[in-house]
A and B are shown apart, each in its own frame.
Chain A
Amino acid sequence: MNRRQVFVNGIIKENPVLILLIGLCPTLAVSGSANDGFGMGIAATFVLIASNILISAVRKWTPDQIRIPVFIIIISTFVTIVDYTMHAADPVLYANLGVFVPLIVVNCIILGRAEAYAYKNDVISSTLDGIGMGLGFTLTITVLGAIREIIGNGTITLLNYELLNLGEGFKPALMFIMPPGAFLVMGLLIALNRLLIRKRG
């Protein structure tokens, strides 16, 4: 597999959420609006890239039997560092992303990629895998958030700017920003992605 492919794979063919079906908890829970979805996606992508690099770098010294504890230590250390640094460096960004950072620890995409990819591949490929998977995750959760938000609230917000507002006359279907809406839209997105892949052959 060449490196370009590693990178592109994460977005459609091996999209972590839509194909591998991992990282579903944050995807379903934090996609009530495009804004929140995007925030979660970016924060998780940072941690994913960094943990992929570190785990790939230490893979030769890590005995097989204790690789999982080692992954967990690296991931949680990194999440905490991101949390502190972001809180100190940019309170405005932290005000928007801060609530998502502790949730990254339970994002199984990060542990999943550590186990399935970074532990077996070199640093550069692992970095690309992290970027690709991160982008795939961010894209999916943002699109999911946008669809739920436009139907459930009549707006689309990104980076706290209102991109679209259907106005007062629109009667939103509240169910879509509640948990059932997440499952419905998610199912449709999975179907759509499968269709895209089949069409392309």
Chain B
Amino acid sequence: MLDIIKNSLKMGMVLLVICAIAAAALAQVYSVTSVIIKKNDEEAEKKKRQDVLPSAARFEEKEIDGKKYIMGYDAEDKMIGGIFKAAPKGYSGPIKITIGVAPDNSVTAVVITRLDQTETPGLGTNVTKPKFLVQFKGKKGNDLKLKKDSGAIDAITAATISSRAVANGVKNGWEQYIKDTGEKR
């Protein structure tokens, strides 16, 4: 009897010590890395803005009807476009999309980085490839849908769900953007 108690206590102690060491190590690593990760994320965000509106010199965040938009201005402070975000549900989680829109309401560029999505490697992850995303450039309205849905975007072979999620996400976000910013211009 005494042996069982002694044994259980010993096992409990060993587990406790190992868990405590693991927790301490994790806390330490987290506190060091989370700062750097946050900084990296901010830089990635800046780069994405620059990528969708390359000619913008500065950006300004704006809130219209509770939705966040980012307006881009060139060196002469002329408005040269807006940026909005969409996060439609893909095949295995949300796909975070950054979309730029020119003053004539056509899409300037769509950016999805590998970290913005969790689609199937080798299939759905192809939505991050320029070959797919470049198709959105200069398009507006119903053209932003897949060809299968009577739009003008070629889906990625074997990744229709991911492609459709991106196309519909861009289109719905675009409509909302036009509605929200249209009246105020």
Contact = CB atoms under 8 A, between A and B. Distances in A.
B157 interface: yes
B173 to A, nearest CB: 23
Contacts of A80: 26, 29
Interface in B21-49: 22, 25-26, 29-30, 32-34, 36-37, 40, 44
A70 B18 contact: yes
A98 interface: yes
A88 B37 contact: yes
Interface string B109-123: 000011100101111
Contact of B14 (A63, A177, A178): A63
B98 to A, nearest CB: 15
B14 A61 contact: yes
A36 B121 contact: yes
A178 B22 contact: no
A66 B33 contact: no
B114 A177 contact: no
Interface in B150-169: 157-158
Contact of A99 (B10, B33, B114, B123): B114
A20 interface: no
A88 B34 CA distance: 7
A91 B158 contact: no
Given A88-B40, A95-B115, A174 B158 contact: yes
Contacts of A65: 11
Contacts of A170: none
Categorize the interface residue count of chain A.
20 to 34
A153 B131 CA distance: 15
A178 B159 CA distance: 10
Nearest to B35: A88
A177 B121 contact: no
Contacts of A70: 14-15, 18
A55 B16 CA distance: 16
A81 B25 contact: yes
B14 A84 contact: no
Contacts of A85: 29, 33
Contact of A30 (B15, B22, B121): B121
B57 interface: no
B19 interface: yes
A174 B123 CA distance: 10
A169 interface: no
A74 interface: yes
Given A84-B29, A88-B36, A177 B122 contact: yes
B33 A63 contact: no
Interface in B1-24: 7, 10-11, 14-15, 18-19, 22
Closest 7 CB pairs of A and B: A32-B122, A88-B33, A88-B36, A77-B22, A84-B33, A36-B121, A95-B114
Given A33-B121, A81-B29, A178-B123, 17 more contacts: A30-B121, A32-B123, A36-B121, A36-B122, A63-B7, A66-B11, A66-B15, A70-B14, A77-B25, A77-B26, A87-B40, A88-B36, A95-B115, A96-B114, A98-B115, A99-B114, A99-B125
Interface of A: 30, 32-33, 36, 58, 61-63, 65-66, 69-70, 73-74, 77, 80-81, 84-85, 87-89, 91, 94-96, 98-100, 149, 153, 174, 177-178
